[in-house]
């Protein structure tokens, strides 16, 4: 099942899409990997969904990636005596450590870490930013605020703190349990919520121990301040535009999206653009024109993947949403302007042998008009390095590791194939040609470029480039 596009589609599973039949429909419609949101999923249900995805994978004969999205800390206020109050602009409102039910003048904030971190001038956003407070006094056990934007406030609404770095881990006890369960079930990528600092990522890495890729969701203003460090510590990034748009002015989000996508591309880290991409398709079989442009912008920017959230998880038209995203991506990538933009944003290769070979392979493939690039890769690093080059030619990644093949489902332009490791150079070249022929990437008489590391089976040792001709039997020709 060869895709006719290079950007990948990540679809969230949920009530509308968690049957085996619907997962198969979504994969055939264009989904390359699936997201399981642990904010709404029990361990038993998560394991069941993983099993269903693996069944579809076996049926379709293609590796499918699974992303486990951890919930992260949920910061909420307490309850009100009457269930809700009306906060009025310009009035004083206190958040404190008293668990008694609140009223129009105060409410319990069951997070001492927030009260101790707040300072005068800091902003608090309640209920996804619908109510805005400004701290005027902070004493460690209470914060007096002024209501800047008022409104109705009810029990247990969420709290966001765009100005405050909170001394709390990105992983709660629930996240630890969810992570262990997900790793035990064999997920391929773990997305961390509430990342503020690189230390949050290192904490997760100690648990994961290489069993899955670590993806940092960029959704906090504090993460923006340390973006370069977070890039370095992460295997992959997600532009989580929903929460970014709550804690930052909405007009700043598009620029941050471009900055994150380009920064990730420069480092060769896969990057996903997420949230509200085809939001109207939750209830409509067709998207708005603005949503089509939004998806197209992410594709033009060279993002590795675009994500569907509620559209595929709980919407009325999950299959149509995936198919629509697939058509948009295909059309954008056929546009000559797409290649112009992709080439203009290409970074210079890192000063390593593997990166130099990846850059040279792209240049050779385009200069000689070869049919495909083929990389033998054990860990996936060679495939990711070549994807960083955003080559015009198709890229096949041949790997003996099923986990590597599934992780590469996230990476731009990579068509991963699970196969036995090469026995010798002749076998390496011949089987590379056969896979390119069988999967429709090259025909008899056409040339392909093959990359590998010698000795075989040594991760990160890409040091060889070979040009081969497809023979009449599909193997290497004369």
Q: Point out the catalytic residue in the list 8, 62, 197, 217.
A: 217
CB-CB contact of 193 with 170 (8 Å) = yes
Measure the CA–CA gap between 135 and 93, rounded to whole angstroms: 9
Q: Give SS3 for 374.
A: strand
Neighbour tally for 329: CB within 10 Å: 25
Instruction: State the CB neighbour count (10 A cutoff) for residue 79.
Output: 17
* Order of strands across the sheet that contains 92-96: 106-108, 92-96, 142-149, 131-138, 123-126, 159-160
Cβ neighbors of 159 (< 8 A, separation 6 or more) are 75, 76, 77, 109, 111, 114, 124, 125, 126
Q: Of 164, 275, 377, 462, which one is the catalytic site residue?
A: 275
By C-alpha distance, which of 171, 238, 179 is closest to 10? 238
58 is catalytic: no
Identify whether 455 is preceded by a cis peptide bond (ω within 30 of 0).
yes
Beta bridge partners of 373: 395, 449
76 is catalytic: yes
217 is catalytic: yes
* Entry field: residues in the chain: 478
In angstroms, the CA 405 to CA 1 distance is: 14
- Residue of 5, 6, 8, 35 marked active site: 35
Please, are residues 117 and 179 in contact by the beta-carbon 8 Å criterion? no
Q: Are strands 92-96 and 106-108 parallel, antiparallel or unpaired?
A: parallel
User: Whole-angstrom Cα distance, residue 328 to residue 473?
Assistant: 36
Candidates 3, 54, 76, 226; catalytic one: 76
Residue 5 is a catalytic residue: no
Catalytic residue annotation:
35, 76, 217, 275
């Amino acid at each position: 099942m060869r895709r006719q596009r290079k950007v990948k589609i990540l679809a969230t599973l949920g009530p509308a899409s968690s049957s085996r039949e619907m997962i198969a429909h979504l994969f055939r419609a264009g989904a390359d990997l699936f997201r399981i949101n642990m904010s709404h999923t029990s361990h038993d249900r998560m394991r069941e969904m993983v099993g269903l995805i693996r069944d579809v994978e076996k049926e379709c004969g293609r590796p499918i990636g699974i992303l486990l999205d951890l919930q992260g800390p949920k910061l909420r206020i307490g309850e009100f005596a009457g269930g809700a109050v009306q906060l009025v602009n310009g009035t004083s409102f206190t958040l404190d450590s008293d668990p008694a039910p609140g009223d129009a003048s105060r409410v319990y904030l069951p997070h001492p870490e927030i009260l101790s971190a707040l300072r005068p001038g800091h902003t608090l956003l309640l209920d996804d930013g619908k109510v805005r407070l400004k701290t005027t006094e902070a004493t460690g056990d209470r914060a007096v605020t002024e209501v800047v934007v008022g409104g109705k406030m009810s029990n247990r609404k969420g709290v966001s703190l765009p100005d405050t770095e909170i001394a709390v881990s990105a992983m709660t006890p629930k996240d630890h349990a969810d992570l262990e369960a997900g790793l035990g079930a064999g997920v391929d990528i773990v997305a961390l919520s509430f990342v503020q600092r690189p230390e949050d990522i290192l904490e997760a890495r100690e648990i994961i121990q290489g069993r899955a890729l670590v993806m940092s969701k960029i959704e906090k203003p504090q993460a923006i301040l340390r973006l370069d460090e977070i890039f370095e510590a992460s295997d992959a990034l997600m532009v989580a535009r929903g929460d970014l748009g709550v804690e930052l002015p909405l007009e700043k989000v598009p620029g941050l999206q471009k900055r994150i996508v380009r920064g990730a591309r420069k480092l060769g880290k896969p990057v996903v653009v997420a949230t509200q991409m085809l939001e109207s398709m939750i209830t409509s079989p067709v998207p708005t024109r603005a949503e089509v442009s939004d998806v197209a912008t992410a594709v033009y920017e060279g993002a590795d993947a675009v994500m569907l959230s509620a559209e595929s998880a709980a919407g009325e038209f999950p299959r149509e949403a995936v198919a629509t995203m697939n058509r948009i991506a295909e059309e954008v990538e056929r546009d000559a302007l797409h290649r112009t933009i992709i080439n203009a944003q290409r970074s210079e290769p890192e000063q390593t042998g593997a990166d130099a070979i990846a850059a040279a392979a792209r240049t050779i493939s385009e200069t000689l008009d070869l049919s495909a690039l083929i990389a033998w890769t054990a860990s996936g690093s060679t495939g990711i390095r070549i994807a960083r080059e955003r080559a015009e030619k198709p890229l096949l990644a041949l790997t003996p590791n099923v986990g590597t093949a599934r992780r590469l489902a996230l990476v731009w332009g990579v068509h991963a194939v699970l196969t036995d490791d090469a026995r010798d150079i002749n076998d390496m070249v011949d089987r590379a040609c056969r896979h390119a022929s069988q999967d429709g990437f090259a025909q008899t008489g056409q040339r392909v470029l093959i990359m590998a590391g010698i000795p075989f089976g040594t991760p990160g040792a890409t040091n060889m480039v070979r040009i081969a001709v497809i023979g009449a039997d599909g193997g290497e020709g004369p």
